[in-house]
Structures are given as structure tokens and as C-alpha cells.
Structure 1
Amino acid sequence: SYRTATQRTATRERAKAGTVDVVVGTHALLSEGTAFAKLGLVVVDEEHRFGVRHKEQLKRLRMEVDVIAMSATPIPRTLYLALVGARDLSVIETAPRERLPIRTLVRSYDENLVRDAIRAELARGGQVFYLHNRIETIEATAARIRQLVPKARISVGHGQMGSGELEAVMADFVAGNHDVLVCTTIIETGLDIPNCNTLILEGADRLGLAQLYQIRGRVGRFNRQAYAYLFLHRHGQMAERARQRLSAVRQHNQLGAGFRIAMRDLELRGAGNLLGSEQSGHIAGVGFELYCQLLRQSISRLKGGATTGIRAEIHLDCIQHADTPLGITAESTDTPTGPILTATLPVTWIPETRLRIEAFRRIALAPDNLAVKELRADLRDRFGRIPAEADALLKLAELRCLAELHRVVRVETDGNILRCVRVKPDGVEEPIMQFGRFPRLTAKEPLRKLTEVRGFLSRLPPLGTT
């Protein structure tokens, strides 16, 4: 609830003096003038609503502070920190007793369906959230709903209302004095109204994946079947990324699906800059394997550990690899220079997002060919026969490990030409030549070409010999 300036000042003084054990607050705890005498634990609720700078401010309050971050849908950056072992992760998957999964419908806007959904909810004595995320037209939307369902008692709530006015609107809705609350995304967190079990959301394709999941979670908080109607924007063509988000929300409608939603969000947006402020992005730009290697080296360097001196870059024109999105169904193509195979872990082979990303991570961080061999055997045992796309990804990992073993920093193919660059102990790079020219490959098919390149690298003599 609201606190006066005097009350806030008194709380800060008690926290500074160490006469209070627990301080509960908002971002105001991060403002200048707030100090703690013996801060030992920071609990961040709704972690996805906090920025990186906010969390780092809390950690700087005391260098050895313990942090627990809680969220139904962790941001990609936080989730990936847990996946790579930089943070511990616990998942609560058991739903409260008698809870039912929310039935989710995604379709184009339909006033008849809106009217029928509201009437059906009111007929069983329930209430409705109607989310319209434009304050300029929210009153007009409320008037349209009154015309569709004249008997419904409708109220409006949004963030630009005065705190007292908004509080009165919400209190009346919780008390059951209104049937339909036409609102913006202010309902995303902090509301628990068991009698409200129908959500109607306009412009669902304009919201993020985690946001969609959080908003859908405002209904279905009792033992009554809840419904979520996600309507698309009436004008304009829906982007492919928006289509993927809505498909994920519709697919993951089981209880406790927040972790799976967060994993899908990581796939779609990337993990962000784990050592900077961006909380999503980058994976698609550099490729998952290179991303994992850079992350591993950065974390090791910050911890004062040793980092590998060689990182091999593999660019084969017969393999589509660096730009492959995580888990997107792979397709091989033919080009004038020969067939191209996509190196990935197909969704059809490893359907579970968490397991697929973990497999990607293990492949990317494999230190040597023995580790890749063990991983290959493990994947075959768990998921069955290895498809060509996954075989190509594993062979690329073997190629990388072999190249790094022989201090080869770059392996490229251009048709049948193989270009490799080796780095000497003094740091000087030199191309690997045969009879005064780059080696030539004879294989045409991608997997066989991979095998031929691997054979060439394995026969390389040690540096300093001929």
C-alpha cells in the first residue's frame, strides 16, 4: 500500500541502523539514500520485471549477498545463466490442488465470439478481464462492449488513472460490483481474483511471450475452468516471430508451463549479453556454438581461471550452421555448387525444448573428441537413431576439437578447395598448403566432405616438422 515520505524515511533509517529484519519494497529500495547495516539476502519477486542494472545495484550493496530470483517466466538472460551453471536453478512444477489448465484460443478478432464468451462467463456468475492496451481508445472499447452485452456491468482501469481512482476501481471489481474490467497490461502481475476466469485479449500478436503467459495467468486461479481468448490485431499482417510466440502460448497451456514458455522465449530471442545489460538477443547473430564458447571463456576469465588459447572457426559451404535457429525444423537444399545440409538438432528428434538446448550446449562446449563421442552415444541411447542434421552438428564439433588440437584457427571450404590456417607458438598465422596450393577435396555429399576434412586434419604433422 501507499507510504508517505515520512514513513519511507523512517523505514530507511531503521534499515540503515539494522533494527529491522525484513524490508519489503519496490524499486524504491534501489534509490540513493537506501543503505543496509547487515544485508545478507535479497529476494527478487517477479524477476522478469527487473532490469539488469537494478539487480546489480542490489548485489553491490554487499559483495557477498545471496540472491534468490523468482519468476514464472524467467528472462532469457537469467534462464541461460542457470543452464550454463552460473546460477543454481529450482523449478516448482506442482500446481495447487484442483487447478485446471486454461483453455486457450488464438484467432482473428470476432465480436460475436466476444459477446458469447462474456455471456457464458456471466451466466455462471463469473467475471471477465478484457485487455485493450491503448489508453487513447480504451473508453471507446468499453462503450462497444456495453453495446455487445448491455446487461454487463463494465468498468475501466489503466495506469494513467489517479492512484485513488484506480484503487477504487480494482476494489469494486474484486468485490464483484463489476462484471467486466476493460484494462491495459496493468493486470499482468499482482492480481489474484478467483472469480475472474475469462480473459479476452486484443492485439495478442503485439505482446511478448512471457508477457502473454503472465497475463493469461490472471485467470484460472480457482477450481473452475478458465478460458483465454487471444485475438490478433485487426489490421496488418502478423510477423513470423509473433506467430511463433502465439503458437508457443497455445501449445504450452498445461499447469506449470512457465518454465517451458521461458525456454521457448530463450529459443526465439536468444540469451542476451550475459556480461552486460541486454537481457535477450545475440544467439542468432553469432551462432549457438560460438556463443557458448565465448561465454565459457568470459566467465572463466572473470573467475581468474585459464582460458583456451585456440578457438577454431569452422565455415563449410556445404553446411548451414552458424545461422541455424535453435530447434527450427531443418531442411537440406541444393545449390549450383552442390547440396547444403543444415546442422542442427531437429524438433522432430528432440521435441522437449529444455533437453534440446541442453544438448546444443553440451555439443558447443565439448572439449575434445572423446567428449563428443560420449555425447553421441548418449543422444542415440535417449532419442534413437541420429538424423543426418544432428550427425552433421556432431561431426562439426569433432572437426572443431581436432582443429584446436592441431592449433588450426580457421577451416573453410569453397567448393572443392579446403583453406586451413594454423597459428604458430609465436602467434604468427600461416595457411596450410600442399604442393604450393590449398588442398582439394573429392567428396560431394556434405557428410562425406566433413569426413574428408576430418581425415586431412588428423594427418597434420606437429608444428615444426615437415
Structure 2
Amino acid sequence: MNRGGQAFFVYNRIDGLYERADRLQKLLPDVRIAVAHGQMGEGPLEQTMTDFIDGRYDVLCSTAIIESGIDIPRANTMIIDRADTFGLSQLYQLRGRVGRSRERAYCYLLTPPPSTLSDEARSRIEALERFTELGSGFKVASLDMELRGAGDLLGAEQSGSVSLVGFDMFVHMLEQAVAELRGEEVVADFDTEMTLPMEHYLPDDYVDDVGLRLSLYKRLASARDEERVHELAVEMEDRFGPPPPPAQALLRVMALRPLLREYRILGCEADERRVALHLREDTPLDPAKVMRLVGQPRSPWKLTPDMKLTHHRAADDPNRLDGVDHVREVLRVLPSLCKDT
């Protein structure tokens, strides 16, 4: 009020809404307070909203009925009581009701003690704190779908099990199903097993919540390309700070997985001297080109009977590469070995 604006107080249960409005009125006797909710008659509700828009009230106590379709530039403050009971997209929409002018806006979330919140509720609150920049709507919607599950695309069920596979994997599975319906070739999915002599994991003191760590591992493992891994790296640094060495190594390793899958590589063993790639039978590599490569005099490349393509670096090679960089060096050669299209 001191900033010359208006405020929303949001509580999503009608039976406690008037009680809260009365308590606010006792605390702020000079403030003009109105109440709005969906069970009011159309006429009284419209009149209340009109009066608030016209500035006849300072505070509007309401349910989530205001989450969309309301544009009140003078409203610069929102307090959401029991924010832990709202969905993530709902919180995001509500927050967007303030700050629609040049005046800086504030949105306060009231919750029980964090220790009493469920992991899902805590994740929703943390996400709202994290996604503050313009254009965050898609990120919020994606995370919301992952947290609560998605409904059937063509059915009546309104909750799903996206959280069991992650949103990225869910989208990938959906793309595969659509491709099958269109009669397009669908390559069976698989996981690439990687063995590298370096510590690559998320330390407990970096991400202390077990559920969050598992979620991040799952999202990294299901990333379909390097860009997605980079986006997750940016998100992690924003949430938890600069990653320690083991987490940095994990991001480097996980960025290799989409590239290895592209060449249908089942397994990858690597260190600074040797890389071994276990190829699937449906690899896009041309057998004739591979044989020419390994057949060159003093070639560092070998192909074993069990379809392992290996690359050895000489012991006196002055260029010291760790396992990840050695794999990248090998991957730069593979495009030239692919079958002609």
C-alpha cells in the first residue's frame, strides 16, 4: 500500500477465505479489502472485480479464480497462502497477475515449515523461485508435467506416469509412437554403457536431496542431444551453484551419450590411451570403410570379431587426453566412415 499500488491475497479454499479477510482487516484497519471467489453470483463477482480494477479496494482476497484473464497494472504485490497446495503452472499463472506495469512486483509464498512439505511440493516452490526470467512458461509447463504426470493423449485419463520416465523420455516415446503410426522406420531404442576411469557423479554436498539427485540423473540419461545436456548444466548451476569436479565430469560424460547413440554404439570403454566402441549390427558405419581404416599400415585402429572398434594412442604421443577427450577425438573420425546415402 505504501508504494501506491494494490495487492492480491490468494487462498484457494472458500471456507477459510472470509476468515483470512477478517484477520487482514483487523491487522490493517485502514485498508479497503474485498473478497472474490467462484461461488459468488455473476453480478456480485463482476461488481467486486470492477471496483477493484477502479481502485475502490486496496486488497482483493480471492481464490485462484484470478489466475488468468485479469490485467490490473496497479497490482504490484501478491501473497499466496498455502502455496504448497497449488500446482506449479497455477502458481506461475498467479504470479503473472502482478508486475504488469513499470512498478516492481513482489509475490510471497506462504507455506508450512519446509521439513513438513512433500518432495513434490518442495520441488514446485523451488521451481517457481528458479524460473523468474521472461519466457519461462514452457520450462514451467514441462516440469509441471513431469512432476504431476500427463493424461492420455486420446483418452479420458487425466494423470499419467511421466515422472517414472522423465518428460524428455516421454516426448521421445511419443515421437516414436507417432512415427510408427505414420509407417516410418523406427529404430529400437537402447542404452549406451560407458566405462571411464574418472569420478563422475553428483556429490551429496552439491545436491543434498536424494530425490532431486535421482531426478537429475534420470533427466541427464534421457537427454536426446548435447544441447539438452547443456541446458541441464545451466539449470544445475543456477540452482546449486558451480558444479564440483565430479559433477563437471558427469556432465562431460553424459554429453557423449547422445553422440554415441547416433552411431548405434552399445558400449564405450575409454582412457587416455585406448577407446573401445562396441558397435550394434545396425550401426550406420560402412564395413568397407572401416576395414580400409583398420587395414592401413601402422593403423591405430582395430576391429575385433565381437564388433569392437578400438583406437590406441601411442605411449610417446605428446598430446595428453583424458578419456572423454579421447572419445571425442574418435567421434570426429566416425562421420567419414558412415555409409553413403
**Which secondary structure state, in structure 2, belongs to the residue aligned with residue 198 of structure 1?**
strand
Q: Name the CA shift for 1:328/1:286 in 2 (closer, same or farther; >3 Å).
A: closer
What does residue 388 of structure 1 align with?
A: 253
> How far apart in 1 are the matches of 2:233 and 2:45?
40
Higher relative contact order (CA 8 A, sep 6+): 1
In the alignment, is residue 252 of structure 1 matched against residue 131 of structure 2? yes
How is 1:66-465 mapped onto 2 (pairs within 5 angstroms)?
122-233=1-112, 237-269=116-148, 272-277=151-156, 281-286=160-165, 291=170, 294-303=173-182, 305-308=183-186, 311=188, 328-330=215-217, 343=221, 350-351=230-231, 387-391=252-256, 395=260, 398-399=264-265, 402-403=279-280, 405=282
- TM-score, structure 1 length as denominator? 0.44
- Match of 1:230, as an amino acid? L
Give per-residue Cα distances to partners, 1:124-162, cap 9 Å, x unaligned.
221110001111111111110011111111111111111
- Match of 2:188, as an amino acid? R
Query: Does structure 1 retain, via aligned residues, the 8 Å contact 2:72–2:100?
Result: yes
Moved more, 279-288 or 206-215: 279-288
Query: Does structure 1 retain, via aligned residues, the 8 Å contact 2:169–2:222?
Result: no
Offset at residue 259 of structure 1 (A): 2.9
Q: Name the CA shift for 1:268/1:347 in 2 (closer, same or farther; >3 Å).
A: farther
Q: Name the CA shift for 1:326/1:396 in 2 (closer, same or farther; >3 Å).
A: farther
> How far apart in 2 are the matches of 1:402 and 1:274?
36
Query: Does structure 2 retain, via aligned residues, the 8 Å contact 1:154–1:181?
Result: yes
> How far apart in 1 are the matches of 2:90 and 2:27?
28
Query: Does structure 2 retain, via aligned residues, the 8 Å contact 1:252–1:261?
Result: yes
Give per-residue Cα distances to partners, 1:240-293, cap 9 Å, x unaligned.
122121112112222333233234334544565445455664333346786455
Q: Name the CA shift for 1:266/1:327 in 2 (closer, same or farther; >3 Å).
A: farther
Query: Does structure 1 retain, via aligned residues, the 8 Å contact 2:146–2:163?
Result: no
Offset at residue 222 of structure 1 (A): 1.1
What does residue 424 of structure 1 align with?
A: none
> How far apart in 2 are the matches of 1:289 and 1:232?
30
Unmatched 5+ stretches in structure 1 = 1-121, 319-323, 332-341, 357-382, 407-433, 435-446, 452-466
What does residue 83 of structure 1 align with?
A: none
- Match of 1:169, as an amino acid? T
- Match of 1:350, as an amino acid? H
- Please report the RMSD computed on the Cα atoms of aligned residues, expressed in angstroms: 4.4
**Which secondary structure state, in structure 2, belongs to the residue aligned with residue 285 of structure 1?**
helix
- Match of 1:202, as an amino acid? D
Q: Name the CA shift for 1:247/1:325 in 2 (closer, same or farther; >3 Å).
A: closer
Query: Does structure 2 retain, via aligned residues, the 8 Å contact 1:204–1:231?
Result: yes
Query: Does structure 1 retain, via aligned residues, the 8 Å contact 2:192–2:261?
Result: no
Query: Does structure 2 retain, via aligned residues, the 8 Å contact 1:219–1:227?
Result: yes
**Which secondary structure state, in structure 2, belongs to the residue aligned with residue 151 of structure 1?**
coil
Give the total of aligned pairs: 247
Query: Does structure 1 retain, via aligned residues, the 8 Å contact 2:73–2:101?
Result: yes
> How far apart in 2 are the matches of 1:199 and 1:255?
18
Query: Does structure 2 retain, via aligned residues, the 8 Å contact 1:210–1:261?
Result: yes
Query: Does structure 2 retain, via aligned residues, the 8 Å contact 1:297–1:307?
Result: no
- TM-score, structure 2 length as denominator? 0.59
**Which secondary structure state, in structure 1, belongs to the residue aligned with residue 123 of structure 2?**
helix
Offset at residue 165 of structure 1 (A): 1.2
What does residue 205 of structure 2 align with?
A: none
Offset at residue 233 of structure 1 (A): 3.6
Q: Name the CA shift for 1:220/1:286 in 2 (closer, same or farther; >3 Å).
A: closer
Q: Name the CA shift for 1:262/1:162 in 2 (closer, same or farther; >3 Å).
A: same
- Match of 2:184, as an amino acid? A
Offset at residue 393 of structure 1 (A): 6.2
Query: Does structure 2 retain, via aligned residues, the 8 Å contact 1:132–1:138?
Result: yes
Offset at residue 387 of structure 1 (A): 2.0
Q: Name the CA shift for 1:327/1:266 in 2 (closer, same or farther; >3 Å).
A: farther
